[in-house]
Amino acid sequence: MEKIITLSSDFGKQTQGIGNMEGVIYGINPHTRVIHLMHGIPAFDLMAAARTMETVYHMPVGFHVCVVDPDVGTTRKGVIIKVKRGDYLIGPDNGCLMTAPRLLGGIERVVEITNEKFMIRPVSPIFHGRHIFAPAAAHLSRGESMDSFGKELNPAELVSAPYGEAVLAEKKIHAEIIHVHHFGSLHFNILHSVWESAGFEPGKKVRLTWKQGKGVLPVTNTFGEVAQGQPLIMKDDYQRIEAAVNQGSFAQKYGLGVGDKITIEGL
Amino acid sequence: MEKIITLSSDFGKQTQGIGNMEGVIYGINPHTRVIHLMHGIPAFDLMAAARTMETVYHMPVGFHVCVVDPDVGTTRKGVIIKVKRGDYLIGPDNGCLMTAPRLLGGIERVVEITNEKFMIRPVSPIFHGRHIFAPAAAHLSRGESMDSFGKELNPAELVSAPYGEAVLAEKKIHAEIIHVHHFGSLHFNILHSVWESAGFEPGKKVRLTWKQGKGVLPVTNTFGEVAQGQPLIMKDDYQRIEAAVNQGSFAQKYGLGVGDKITIEGL
Amino acid sequence: MEKIITLSSDFGKQTQGIGNMEGVIYGINPHTRVIHLMHGIPAFDLMAAARTMETVYHMPVGFHVCVVDPDVGTTRKGVIIKVKRGDYLIGPDNGCLMTAPRLLGGIERVVEITNEKFMIRPVSPIFHGRHIFAPAAAHLSRGESMDSFGKELNPAELVSAPYGEAVLAEKKIHAEIIHVHHFGSLHFNILHSVWESAGFEPGKKVRLTWKQGKGVLPVTNTFGEVAQGQPLIMKDDYQRIEAAVNQGSFAQKYGLGVGDKITIEGL
């Protein structure tokens, strides 16, 4: 069975960097299956990157590379994070890898990538995806020990995740928008379990309050429970909560975006 | 030889759902080749989805999944359609799968997908692509009988295709725009055979009439037979008729889009 | 080990043509690995196409197809170019394949593709990617001799590359913009070796002069050496020189685009 290597980036389809990374991997280990998890992460958007990496819990156990890397070539570290489920997360130490472990059993070990033996040389100071991270995934997938890549780091030394977890306090959830979907839905840093604790069940209504406005939304199971063009809020498809407009864009309708803070309370 | 599974959707590259579907398939059957047929179908556009699915006749016989699914989570059915060429079409019963059989020998059998044994559970009410359709394709590709998935349906019970076939009457073709191409060409629901019956051969001219306008176009074999910026009409590359501007956008030039009705007559 | 076939085009993700080409290849030779190198080349942009094809030097030796083909269906030839590294470049004779050999040891042999035995018939006059170029790559990857496809051509007969190489004269480099990156960086037709000859080392400054303006930029190794929003110039990640704004768009800031001429001199 081929090993799974997933690639995520903010490259869109506007760069050959994606194909280059796949080529480099294949050159090192042809017995892999490269899956392009997501290359439409908005440029330099660590929050969206972290949110994408959360979804690797839907993938088979494998080697997951994230290249959203605004500080490439500076002193920021490159890291390999092994999680308890058995996956390896590979990328820059800028927080983009730090949310996925919450859904994969937690961090087991971390090493810094410094051994040039496993890099494509000369190492480009501006494209570590091709020269360091994709090769690291390929070498790991061949059975190379993570300790060969560099010294162990204490997980507490790593740059923290770009978002925390929403909390329920005095029957209100204090949340943050962590992603705006292609179709314009907003996704919050609210786990399904926190939503359930708040008792916001389908059939009820909730009030959302943000800096410049507020709105009342029905809690539903899916989009089609409201008329076309109407808003709703529900569990999304990757363990978090989503506000959407049926066949429309919630983000456009309400002028909200990544990083905005929202308070949600029952009615 | 690995089995072919194709995936088509309206996800663009803005969502990890595409990578998630490939991961789920690989987890169920690693002996498959997943081909991303088309993920740039405009959001919720069943007409464009149906047009994309027609092109599977260029693919090897396989398992073809379409996830353009505005009614996900409602009472709309999920279906497997076996066609006479040997392919299986898998997706929502909303018409998006109903044009492809016209080019694949016709429908042989249909079953509804209801057996939860072949779904990723808990089943997301908003992403059947990942939880129902991609897994169904993967299980079918392992040799699972389509009858294991649910009860047989009469094809006549299914939601019909989003477009019919253009007809030739009194020397005029009454057609509909079913797709606007990336480059701005318009594609009509006119089969090559209907075009040939009308006698609209390269070298002749035709008049197009629509609600707000009309135009005369040369019939050509390819783009480069007219000067850059000039319009033309010809057989497209997937059995239908296309109006284009050489190295330009016909859709922009004439303000036409999907669903518009056009009458075409010879000059 | 599977053979590598790479596909590059200006199709974006807005067309099923990409999936169709992969399906056609798989139907001819299932023992291949298709890598989508780049499908976001701007429509009909031969300069960007040529620049993309240069990056195949990062790929394993293989069969590299380029479908940026504004003259499809006219008298323009289809060609197979074998380069000294061992790769085969396949596509239209419009210059898009002519820069890559500079980085792959030079051209070894060229043949015209005329043998219909290796085409999907009837040959579409408007989609040679699917009917001629992808099949040619698949047949070559099975071991078919390039001489089976048609007669040998003299490389000097081919349409020349859409850009030459920037030259250093009187301590100034006379360059051209050959690509605007997704993030808005500009890439010039300046090889790293020419840049080094000019002595434009990191830490120094250079003046850029173009038709409507000029600017002074620091030479750096990477983006993060200047503050966010500030411009810089450096070696890019594929053997050429790049002007960028740290986490911003140089192209937008200065209103420059593909084809613009720039003179660069030291300060």
- Asked if B17 reaches chain A (Cβ–Cβ under 8 Å), the answer is yes
pLDDT of amino acid A181? 82
Beta strands A63-67 and A88-92 are parallel
Residue from the list B19, B73, B126 with its beta carbon closest to the beta carbon of A36: B19
Which one of B15, B16, B127 makes the best mutation probe of the A interface by having the most chain A beta carbons within 10 Å? B16
CA A161 to chain centroid: 10
Of B211-225, C5-19, C81-95, C139-153, which gets the smallest average pLDDT?
Answer: C5-19
pLDDT in tens, A89-99: 999 999 999 99
Q: Is B170 helix (H, G, I), strand (E, B) or coil?
A: coil
Question: Which residue, among B141, B144, B122, B146, has the nearest Cα to B132 in the 3D structure?
Answer: B122
Q: Which structure tokens are listed for C253?
A: 């800031």
Distance CA C33, CA C22 (A): 10
Q: What is the mean pLDDT of the segment spanning C5-30? A: 91
Q: Which structure tokens are listed for B70?
A: 């505005």
CA distance A242 to chain B (A): 11
Domain architecture of chain B: domains with CATH: 3-157 (3.40.50.10790), 167-266 (2.40.30.90)
The pLDDT of residue A13 is above 90: no
Is the separation of the CB atoms in A104 and A139 below 8 Å? no
pLDDT of amino acid C73? 83
Q: What b/e sequence results for C114-132 when a residue is b if at least 16 CB atoms lie within 10 Å of its CB, and e otherwise?
A: ebeebbbeeebbbbbbbbb
- Token pair 């997938």 is found at A141
Contacts of B65 in chain C (CB under 8 A): none
Which one of B126, B132, B182 makes the best mutation probe of the A interface by having the most chain A beta carbons within 10 Å? B126
Which residues, 6+ apart, have CB-to-CB distance to A13 below 8 Å? A39, B13, C12, C13, C38, C39, C40
- Asked if A40 reaches chain C (Cβ–Cβ under 8 Å), the answer is no
Neighbours of C112 (CB within 10 A): 17
Distance CA C83, CA C104 (A): 6
The whole-model pTM stands at 0.88
Nearest chain B alpha carbon to C26: B60
CA distance A249 to chain B (A): 11
pLDDT in tens, A112-153: 999 999 999 988 888 999 999 999 999 999 999 999 999 999
Q: What is the mean pLDDT of the segment spanning B61-69? A: 97
Could you give the percent of chain B with pLDDT greater than 70? 99
Q: What is the mean pLDDT of the segment spanning C54-65? A: 95
The pLDDT of residue C13 is above 70: no
Q: What b/e sequence results for C214-225 when a residue is b if at least 16 CB atoms lie within 10 Å of its CB, and e otherwise?
A: ebebbbbbbbbb
Q: Is B67 helix (H, G, I), strand (E, B) or coil?
A: strand
- Using a 10 angstrom Cβ sphere, with 0-12 exposed, 13-18 middle and 19 or more buried, the burial of residue B212 is exposed
Neighbours of A255 (CB within 10 A): 10
Is the separation of the CB atoms in B131 and A236 below 8 Å? no
Contacts of B130 in chain A (CB under 8 A): 58, 237
Q: What is the mean pLDDT of the segment spanning B20-34? A: 96
Q: What is the mean pLDDT of the segment spanning A100-104? A: 94
Distance CA C73, CA B226 (A): 12
DSSP state of B248: B
pLDDT in tens, C121-179: 988 888 999 999 999 999 999 999 999 999 999 999 999 999 999 999 999 999 999 98
The pLDDT of residue C264 is above 70: yes
CA B27 to chain centroid: 27
The pLDDT of residue C14 is above 80: no
Q: What is the mean pLDDT of the segment spanning B204-221? A: 95
The pLDDT of residue A73 is above 90: no
Distance CA B6, CA B88 (A): 10
Which one of C37, C96, C247 makes the best mutation probe of the A interface by having the most chain A beta carbons within 10 Å? C37
- Asked if A225 reaches chain C (Cβ–Cβ under 8 Å), the answer is no
pLDDT of amino acid C124? 86
pLDDT of amino acid A14? 61
Higher pLDDT, C26 or C13: C26
CA distance C142 to chain B (A): 15
C19 and B37 within 8 Å at the Cβ level: the answer is yes
- Over chain A, what HEC string results? CCEEEEEEECCCCCCCHHHHHHHHHHHHCCCEEEEEEECCCCCCCHHHHHHHHHHHHHCCCCEEEEECCCCCCCCCCEEEEEECCCCEEEEECCCCCCCHHHHCCCEEEEEECCCHHHCCCCCCCCCHHHHHHHHHHHHHHCCCCHHHCCCEECHHHCCCCCCCCCEEECCEEEEEEEEECCCCCEEEEEEHHHHHHHCCCECEEEEEEECCEEEEEEECCCHHHCCCCCEEEEECCCCEEEEEECCECHHHHHCCCCCCEEEEEEC
Of B12-16, B185-189, C151-155, which gets the smallest average pLDDT?
Answer: B12-16
Question: What's the whole-number average pLDDT of chain C?
Answer: 94
Q: What is the mean pLDDT of the segment spanning A187-210? A: 96
CA distance B234 to chain A (A): 30
| Amino acid of residue A78 | G
Nearest chain C alpha carbon to A40: C182
Instruction: Give the number of C-alpha atoms closer than 13 A to the C-alpha of residue A123, restricted to the C-beta side.
Output: 19
CA distance B13 to chain A (A): 5
pLDDT of amino acid C122? 86
Beta strands A32-38 and C167-169 are unpaired
- Asked if A39 reaches chain B (Cβ–Cβ under 8 Å), the answer is yes
pLDDT in tens, B240-255: 999 999 989 999 999 9
Which one of A38, A57, A238 makes the best mutation probe of the B interface by having the most chain B beta carbons within 10 Å? A38
Question: Which residue, among C62, C66, C16, has the nearest Cα to C45 in the 3D structure?
Answer: C66
Cα-based distances in Å from A16 to A21, A124, C168, C224 = 9, 15, 28, 22
Q: What is the mean pLDDT of the segment spanning B29-44? A: 92
Q: Is B35 helix (H, G, I), strand (E, B) or coil?
A: strand
* Phi, psi torsion values for A21, nearest 5 degrees: -65, -40
- Using a 10 angstrom Cβ sphere, with 0-12 exposed, 13-18 middle and 19 or more buried, the burial of residue B98 is buried
Nearest chain B alpha carbon to C127: B237
Q: What is the mean pLDDT of the segment spanning C20-27? A: 96
The pLDDT of residue A60 is above 90: yes
Which residues, 6+ apart, have CB-to-CB distance to B36 below 8 Å? B6, B7, B8, B18, B22, C18, C19, C22
pLDDT in tens, B130-170: 999 999 999 999 999 999 999 999 999 999 999 999 999 99
DSSP letters, C129-183, are IIIIIHHHHHHHHTT--GGGSS-EE-GGGSPPPS----EEETTEEEEEEEEE-TT
Q: Is C234 helix (H, G, I), strand (E, B) or coil?
A: strand
Q: Which structure tokens are listed for B162?
A: 């989003």
Q: What is the mean pLDDT of the segment spanning A59-86? A: 95
Could you give the percent of chain C with pLDDT greater than 90? 83
Q: Which structure tokens are listed for A22?
A: 């796949």
pLDDT of amino acid B13? 65
Which residues, 6+ apart, have CB-to-CB distance to C133 below 8 Å? C21, C65, C66, C67, C78, C90, C91, C92, C113
Nearest chain C alpha carbon to B1: C30
pLDDT of amino acid A183? 80
Confidence grade of residue B14 (pLDDT, cut at 50, 70, 90) = low
